[in-house]
C-alpha cells in the first residue's frame, strides 16, 4: 500500500454502498483498502437508516473497512421509527471488528422536533449501556443550532450533545479551501473539542482512483491519538512461560496444555506415556 501523506492528523473516509457502481455481474466496484492511494487511516461505513439495513453493507465493509486498522459504522436516524428498534437493530448486526458507532443526525427525510432529538439521546445512551465500543454522533451546523434550541426549550437538563463526542460536518465555500488542517467553526453550545471533522463532501471526483469516497474527514489528533481513543494501544501482558517437568515422574497423568510461548501458536504439550 502506497498512500500519499497529506496531514499529520488521522485522515479518513466515510462511504455507503450507493456511492459505488456495479459491474456486469452486479458486483459493487468497491476499491480494496490496500489499493487506495490517498491517505486513509480510518474508514466509516453506513450500515442502516431507520429500520432499513443496507443489503450490500457487508460487501463494502469486508473490502474497504475490515483491512483498515481503525473502522466504524454509522446509522442514519429517522423520525417516526421506534428509537429502540433502531438502536437494537444496529447492535444486533454490527460487525465484530467494528470499533465505534456513529449516530447520523440529519434533516433530510426527518422532522426535527423534540421527539426526534429526545430519541437521539435515547439511542446514544442505549448504545453506550449495551455495547463495548465507542459512541459518537454526527451533525452539521444547521442541525446543531436547531437541536440546541429545541433541547434547551424542552429538555434543558438533558445535554447528551455534551456527554458524547461529536463528528461535525462543515465545508468551506470554495473547494480549494477544504483542507485537512482546517478547524470547523462550532456553534456556541456544542462541544468545542470536536472528535471528527468532515471537511469535504467532494473530495474525490473519481472515487475509484484515490480515496473511494467523496466524504473526507480528519480526527482531532494523530493516528496514535485515535488508536488510544478506541483502545488499540492497550497491550495484553504475555502469558508467562512454563518450565517443563524435570523428569518422567514429574509429568502429569493427563494429556493437557500447561503453557504457551509468547507466540501462542506454539503450545507446550505433555502427555503421560507408559515407559
Give per-residue pLDDT as tens, 118-131: 999 999 999 999 99
Compute the average pLDDT of residues 225-243: 77
The phi and psi torsions of 42 (rounded to 5 degrees) equal -145, 155
pTM for this model (two decimals): 0.83
pLDDT at 262: 41
Distance between CA atoms of residues 139 and 64, nearest Å? 24
Distance between CA atoms of residues 91 and 268, nearest Å? 39
pLDDT at 198: 97
Under DSSP, is residue 53 helix (H, G, I), strand (E, B) or coil?
strand
pLDDT at 265: 38
Tell me the domains of the chain and their CATH numbers. Answer: 11-230 (3.20.20.80), 236-275 (no CATH)
Cell numbers at 113, concatenated: 422536533
Compute the average pLDDT of residues 142-163: 98
Give the number of other CB atoms < 10 A from CB of residue 95. Answer: 17
Residue 190 has pLDDT above 90, yes or no: yes
Distance between CA atoms of residues 148 and 142, nearest Å? 10
Amino acid at each position: 500500500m502506497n498512500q500519499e501523506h497529506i496531514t499529520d492528523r488521522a485522515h479518513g473516509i466515510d462511504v455507503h454502498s450507493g456511492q459505488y457502481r456495479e459491474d456486469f455481474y452486479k458486483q459493487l466496484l468497491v476499491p480494496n483498502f490496500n489499493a487506495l492511494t490517498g491517505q486513509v487511516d480510518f474508514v466509516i461505513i453506513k450500515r442502516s437508516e431507520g429500520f432499513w439495513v443496507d443489503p450490500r453493507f457487508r460487501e463494502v465493509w469486508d473490502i474497504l473497512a475490515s483491512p483498515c486498522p481503525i473502522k466504524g459504522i454509522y446509522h442514519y436516524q429517522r423520525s417516526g421509527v421506534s428509537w429502540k428498534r433502531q438502536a437494537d437493530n444496529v447492535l444486533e448486526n454490527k460487525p465484530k471488528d467494528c470499533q465505534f458507532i456513529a449516530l447520523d443526525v440529519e434533516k433530510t427525510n426527518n422532522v426535527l422536533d423534540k421527539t426526534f432529538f429526545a430519541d437521539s439521546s435515547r439511542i446514544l445512551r442505549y448504545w453506550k449501556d449495551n455495547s463495548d465500543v465507542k459512541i459518537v454522533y454526527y451533525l452539521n451546523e444547521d442541525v446543531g443550532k436547531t437541536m440546541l434550541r429545541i433541547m434547551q426549550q424542552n429538555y434543558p437538563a438533558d445535554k447528551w450533545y455534551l456527554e458524547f463526542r461529536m463528528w461535525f460536518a462543515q465545508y468551506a465555500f470554495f473547494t480549494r479551501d477544504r483542507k485537512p488542517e482546517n478547524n470547523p467553526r462550532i456553534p456556541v453550545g456544542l462541544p468545542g473539542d470536536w472528535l471528527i471533522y468532515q471537511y469535504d463532501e467532494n473530495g474525490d471526483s473519481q472515487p475509484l482512483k484515490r480515496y473511494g469516497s467523496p466524504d473526507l474527514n480528519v480526527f482531532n489528533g494523530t493516528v496514535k491519538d485515535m488508536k488510544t481513543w478506541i483502545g488499540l494501544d492497550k497491550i495484553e501482558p504475555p502469558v508467562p512461560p512454563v518450565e517443563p517437568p524435570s523428569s518422567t515422574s514429574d509429568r502429569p497423568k493427563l494429556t493437557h496444555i500447561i503453557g504457551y510461548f509468547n507466540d501462542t501458536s506454539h503450545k507446550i504439550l505433555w502427555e503421560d506415556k507408559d515407559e
